[in-house]
Amino acid sequence: MKLLLHTCCAPCSVYCIKTLRAENIEPTLFWYNPNIHPYSEYKARRDCLKQYAEQKNVKLILEDAYGLDEFICKVNQSKLDSRCEDYCYPKRFRKAFEYAKANGYDTITITLLYSIYQKHDKIAELMQTLAKEYGIKFLYRDFREGWREGQDEARQAGLYMQKYCGCIYSEEESGLGRELAKQLKKQGIAPTNANVRKIIEANKQDNLIYPDKLK
């Protein structure tokens, strides 16, 4: 098996690399993430992955492309909630399949299957569709079972730990979510993701925050 592992960042790759190597599968990491913004964040994640790949003696392919202009143009403002499956996922996944096909890789998988915050089923579905299109095997693994283990090891290794998914909209949502969670906690309301999401959606409508609506 010659496996290409599309990699979004070093922390998410820790458990994936460890698990694959335990199965005697040696991955080649593939970096192509033009959805990450701003450039300082893009650079921090890319450089951390480079250092970690050297540390773990794993091959890394860098498709170095920072794509803010294209991202802003392509992401429809009326469909921000579907930007992942409409743009970010297919843009990156297809690039990985193109590279795999052109360079003799017969199998491909992705570190996004490790994240508990990503749209897991959508990712697996799109990867399977592209696998059929390119004639390359998609190695499905539910890496989420090692989420805590991978995060702990990443922190112990001193890796850069990002605070949001990647794009400018996720940065905004993450920052707003942390502030809302603090407000909810002060008011005795459980700061769950569901409650925070309700307020974020309300905030999009009238730019007001109503934590009391959840009581």
Q: What is the pLDDT of residues 92-134, one digit of tens each?
A: 999 999 999 999 999 999 999 999 989 999 999 999 999 999 9
Across 132-207, the runs of DSSP E, i.e. the strands, are: 137-138
Task: State the pLDDT confidence band at 209, using cuts at 50, 70 and 90.
Answer: very low
Residue 164 has a pLDDT of: 81
Same domain membership, residue 125 and residue 48: yes
73-to-11, 24, 183 alpha-carbon distances in Å: 29, 42, 34
Residue 206 located in a structural domain = yes
Largest CA distance in the chain: 57
The domain that contains 61 carries what CATH number? 3.40.50.620
- Tell me, yes or no, if the pTM score tops 0.95: no
Residue 180 has a pLDDT of: 54
Residue 16 located in a structural domain = yes
Same domain membership, residue 187 and residue 141: no
Residue 124 located in a structural domain = yes
Same domain membership, residue 124 and residue 97: yes
| Domain boundary residue, one of 156, 182, 200 | 156
Residue 161 located in a structural domain = no
Which residues, in sequence order, are CB contacts of 20 under 8 Å at separation 6+?
3, 5, 26, 27, 141
Same domain membership, residue 102 and residue 19: yes
Residue 214 has a pLDDT of: 44
The span from the CA of 13 to the CA of 49, in Å, is 9
Residue 142 located in a structural domain = yes
Task: State the pLDDT confidence band at 83, using cuts at 50, 70 and 90.
Answer: confident
Domain count, the chain: 2
Nearest to 113 by CA among 20, 46, 47, 37: 20
Same domain membership, residue 200 and residue 151: no
- Yes or no: say if 199 and 211 are a contact pair by the CB < 8 Å rule: yes
Residue 163 located in a structural domain = no
Average pLDDT of the segment spanning 25-38:
95
84-to-7, 36, 104, 123 alpha-carbon distances in Å: 16, 12, 28, 9
Same domain membership, residue 62 and residue 112: yes
Same domain membership, residue 192 and residue 128: no
User: Which domain covers residue 65, as residue numbers?
Assistant: 3-156
Residue 69 located in a structural domain = yes
Same domain membership, residue 190 and residue 135: no
The overall average pLDDT reported for the chain is: 85
Same domain membership, residue 205 and residue 135: no
| Domain boundary residue, one of 135, 156, 177 | 156
Residue 152 located in a structural domain = yes
Same domain membership, residue 133 and residue 35: yes
Same domain membership, residue 189 and residue 122: no
Amino acid identity of residue 125, one-letter, is E
Same domain membership, residue 173 and residue 150: no
Residue 210 has a pLDDT of: 45
Percentage of residues in the chain having pLDDT higher than 90:
62
Task: State the pLDDT confidence band at 185, using cuts at 50, 70 and 90.
Answer: low
More confident residue, 21 or 189: 21
Sheet holding 107-110, edge to edge: 60-62, 27-31, 3-6, 107-110, 137-138
pLDDT in tens, 38-69: 899 999 999 999 999 999 999 999 999 998 88
Flag whether pLDDT at 191 surpasses 90: no
